[in-house]
């Protein structure tokens, strides 16, 4: 049987971060609630010239180092922040990443589970086309209202996976346990910039879907047994949910907390604690965190994966870590990317959040914020335009840009 799985795994976060102790002070909340109650330290903030396309392209560019792009047969973007109701954001990625014309490009949506749905489709694609590769890009900006209880659980970033029939990082068995139930725990109507969330209900649904998808995975689809997992990795809207999710999994699987202690929670949350929620990318940033910051050699071991998307759908699956996986990761580069971020004030974060591209077709050129590999450089005639480093990438008929603020 062909081994299919993750051959490349890279993530990208914007170069700016807000310290949650600063946010706590500004909002009159004890900082212990954000730092210990939610387990978060800082949250990544996207400047005005970064969006899901530019962040996704930056993550993918890194994941594609050393990859023959002509072999990529599909690029899928999963996001909750689509920039167009019709055109897939993956079209922009296709162009920015210079992918071949024979590569299909589209977008998928189901809140934070969309990344896993895209991964599942990529596995099927590579299974049918073992000589080709699939690129899965997950990117989001988690945005809630100022002063709301969810504000401290925001974040921004992207993750990219290269799926191959010769994976260097992890093999994925295409067995997925699923739990679906229509509920209103978190949603964002098309006319709103910020999500609406019934926070405690969303946690209740997260746990119910964990129990339901685990039951489907373990009892109906014959998945890996709980005692065979070396680690458990889960969707992380905030770091402390990892402990709670592990405890719930052990309970529904009938394992005592002592016997399940090795499943861990901390190493999968190390990056998320500094980045915040990245919605569709969150589970895969957690996987990078587990594989790059964990002390134990996981080669040949099984990792249980739980993906949750509000609305709601839970998916449970497993991956087996490949021998020599660390050589295909980028632990040092990622540590540097997180360390080198610039700390911004609450006032700066609030000002950036207020900035919008015009909706009347005017031409706008955005200033540079940092030196990201890709950026949103403005818009003209209702079209967004992106550039890669110094090379401008614009629609073919883009008018000359006026410099406006």
Q: Which residues bind ligand COA (CB under 6 A)?
A: 30, 32-33, 36-38, 149-150, 153, 197, 199-200, 202-203, 206, 237-238, 308, 310
Catalytic residue from among 61, 103, 107, 112: 112
Cβ-based nearer residue to ligand COA, 152 or 385 = 152
Cβ-based nearer residue to ligand COA, 150 or 163 = 150
DSSP 282-347: HHHHHHHHHHHH-SS--TT-EEEEEEEETTTEEEEEEEEEPTTGGGGS-HHHHHHHHHTPEEE-HH
Catalytic residue from among 61, 80, 107, 292: 80
Measured CA to CA, the distance from residue 310 to residue 305 in angstroms comes to 17
- Alpha-carbon dihedral angle through residues 237, 240, 246, 247, given to the nearest 10 degrees: -130
Distances (CA, A) of 273 to 200, 270, 347: 20, 5, 22
Distances (CA, A) of 254 to 17, 260, 262, 363: 40, 10, 15, 60
Burial of 65 from C-beta contacts in 10 A (0-12 / 13-18 / 19+): exposed
Cβ-based nearer residue to ligand COA, 32 or 100 = 32
Which position has the token pair 């999994």? 249
Q: How far is the CB of 153 from ligand COA (least distance, A)?
A: 4
330-336, Cβ contacts within 8 angstroms, sequence gap of 24 or more? 330/10, 330/62, 330/292, 331/292, 331/293, 333/62, 334/11, 334/271, 334/288, 334/292
Cβ-based nearer residue to ligand COA, 200 or 403 = 200
Cβ-based nearer residue to ligand COA, 164 or 310 = 310
Q: How far is the CB of 380 from ligand COA (least distance, A)?
A: 36
Is-catalytic flag, 235?
Answer: yes
Q: How far is the CB of 32 from ligand COA (least distance, A)?
A: 3
Measured CA to CA, the distance from residue 349 to residue 47 in angstroms comes to 8
Q: How far is the CB of 37 from ligand COA (least distance, A)?
A: 2
- Tokens representing 354? 């207020």
Q: How far is the CB of 197 from ligand COA (least distance, A)?
A: 5
DSSP state of 49: T
Is-catalytic flag, 385?
Answer: no
Catalytic residue from among 94, 103, 159, 235: 235
- Tokens representing 155? 């974040």
Measured CA to CA, the distance from residue 144 to residue 188 in angstroms comes to 10
Q: How far is the CB of 42 from ligand COA (least distance, A)?
A: 16
Cβ-based nearer residue to ligand COA, 113 or 289 = 113
Cβ-based nearer residue to ligand COA, 32 or 361 = 32
Q: How far is the CB of 334 from ligand COA (least distance, A)?
A: 23
Residue nearest to ligand COA (CB): 37
Is-catalytic flag, 112?
Answer: yes
Residues whose CB falls within 8 Å of the CB of residue 367, separated by 6 or more in sequence, listed in order: 48, 49
Catalytic residues: 80, 112, 235
């Amino acid at each position: 049987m062909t081994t299919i799985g993750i051959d490349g795994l890279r993530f990208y976060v914007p170069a700016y971060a807000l310290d949650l102790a600063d946010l706590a002070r500004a909002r009159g909340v004890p900082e212990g609630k954000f730092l210990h109650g939610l387990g978060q330290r800082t949250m990544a903030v996207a400047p005005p010239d970064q969006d899901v396309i530019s962040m996704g392209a930056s993550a993918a560019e890194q994941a594609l180092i050393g990859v023959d792009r002509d072999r990529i047969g599909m690029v899928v973007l999963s996001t909750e922040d689509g920039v167009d109701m019709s055109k897939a954001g993956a079209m922009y990625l296709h162009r920015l990443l210079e992918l071949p014309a024979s590569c299909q490009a589209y977008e998928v949506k189901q809140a934070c589970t969309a990344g896993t749905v895209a991964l599942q489709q990529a596995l099927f694609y590579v299974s049918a086309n073992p000589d080709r590769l699939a690129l899965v890009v997950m990117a989001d900006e988690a945005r809630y209202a100022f002063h709301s209880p969810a504000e401290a659980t925001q974040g921004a970033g992207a993750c990219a996976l290269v799926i191959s029939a010769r994976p260097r990082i992890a093999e994925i068995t295409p067995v997925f346990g699923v739990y679906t139930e229509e509920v209103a725990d978190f949603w964002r109507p098309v006319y709103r910039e910020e999500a609406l969330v019934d926070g405690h209900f969303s946690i209740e649904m997260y746990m119910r879907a964990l129990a339901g998808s685990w039951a489907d995975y373990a009892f109906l689809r014959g998945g890996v047994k709980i005692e065979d997992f070396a680690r458990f990795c889960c969707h992380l809207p905030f770091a402390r949910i990892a402990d709670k999710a592990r405890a719930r999994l052990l309970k529904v699987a009938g394992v005592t907390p002592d016997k399940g202690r090795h499943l861990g929670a901390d190493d999968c949350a190390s990056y998320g604690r500094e980045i915040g929620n990245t919605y569709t990318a969150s589970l895969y940033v957690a996987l990078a965190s587990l594989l790059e910051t964990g002390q134990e050699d996981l080669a040949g071991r099984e990792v249980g994966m739980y993906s949750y998307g509000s609305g709601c759908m839970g998916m449970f699956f497993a991956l087996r870590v490949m021998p020599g996986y660390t050589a295909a990761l980028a632990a040092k580069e990622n540590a540097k990317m997180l360390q080198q971020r610039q700390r911004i004030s609450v006032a700066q974060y609030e000002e950036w959040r207020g900035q919008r591209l015009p909706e009347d077709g005017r031409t706008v050129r955005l200033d540079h914020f940092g030196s990201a590999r890709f950026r949103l450089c403005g818009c003209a005639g209702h079209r967004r335009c992106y550039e890669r480093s110094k090379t401008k990438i614009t629609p073919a008929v883009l008018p000359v840009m006026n410099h406006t603020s």
